[in-house]
Homo-oligomer: A and B are copies of this chain.
Amino acid sequence: MTDALKQRVFEANMALPAYGLVTFTWGNVSGIDRKRGLVVIKPSGVEYEKMQATDMVVVNLRGEVVEGRYRPSSDTATHLELYARFPELGGIVHTHSTHATSWAQAGVAIPALGTTHADYFAGEIPCTRPLSRHEVNGEYELETGKVIAAALTGIDPLHMPGILVAQHGPFCWGATPEQAVHNAVVLEEVAKMAWITGSIRRNQTPMDDYLMHKHFSRKHGPDAYYGQK
């Protein structure tokens, strides 16, 4: 079973450069096997061109390496914190994709401006508060996970499958590693469009809330009618 998840997480990682979301090794995907309490994640700093499925690292929920010859991603503690807080999550992605990272650097939430956004994100995409000096100098990656979780208070994470970490970049997630990558692609495209929209018309107001809910529910939930049954 771990082999199957390693293969899936490997393929999800390889999708990041294929979709143009990462430069060099600036990204990682993980997946979780909730029954066995194991997380599979990209090894730290290994080049995509040379990476193989067998290089994926398996850690337990305390972050201890259970299987694999490499160190896990330096962001592993962030992933684990998010899995612990949100049982809905099956996969998590972190990238420094150009446009989402630019919004994170600006420290501004991405407003919901159109149906492309609303098809996946049921509201504006939050930007976390900056981490404090104490948090950065302490268990930095764990604190990053906590700050993300705080920004999601009261929000269903599958209705808001991504966030911006201020001064850093995006994290996305989904019910599976594949959906997490899918959402990372959407976030990058939505971030690009929101930048251009704001350049055409400064401070454009958000879309109508009834249109936003209509589009989100076209693709999600009991009344969804997009796609095949």
Contact residues of A with B, CB < 8 Å?
Answer: 23-26, 43-46, 70-71, 74, 96, 98-99, 101-108, 113-116, 130-131, 133, 136-137, 140, 167-169, 182, 185-186, 189, 192-201, 204, 207-208, 210-211, 214, 218, 225-229
- Enumerate chain B residues within 8 angstroms of A192, measured Cβ to Cβ: 98
- Enumerate chain B residues within 8 angstroms of A226, measured Cβ to Cβ: 44-45, 74
Question: Copy number in this complex?
Answer: 4
Task: List 17 other contacts, CB 8 Å, given A74-B226, A105-B114, A105-B207.
Answer: A25-B227, A44-B227, A71-B229, A74-B218, A74-B225, A101-B114, A102-B193, A104-B114, A106-B204, A107-B201, A114-B169, A115-B168, A136-B208, A140-B214, A195-B200, A198-B199, A199-B199
- B115 with A201: CB separation less than 8 A: no
A-B contact pairs, 30 of them (CB 8 A): A23-B185, A26-B116, A43-B228, A45-B226, A46-B227, A71-B228, A74-B218, A74-B226, A74-B227, A98-B196, A101-B114, A101-B193, A102-B196, A102-B197, A102-B200, A105-B204, A108-B201, A113-B167, A115-B167, A115-B168, A115-B169, A116-B169, A131-B208, A136-B208, A136-B210, A136-B214, A137-B210, A168-B211, A198-B200, A199-B199
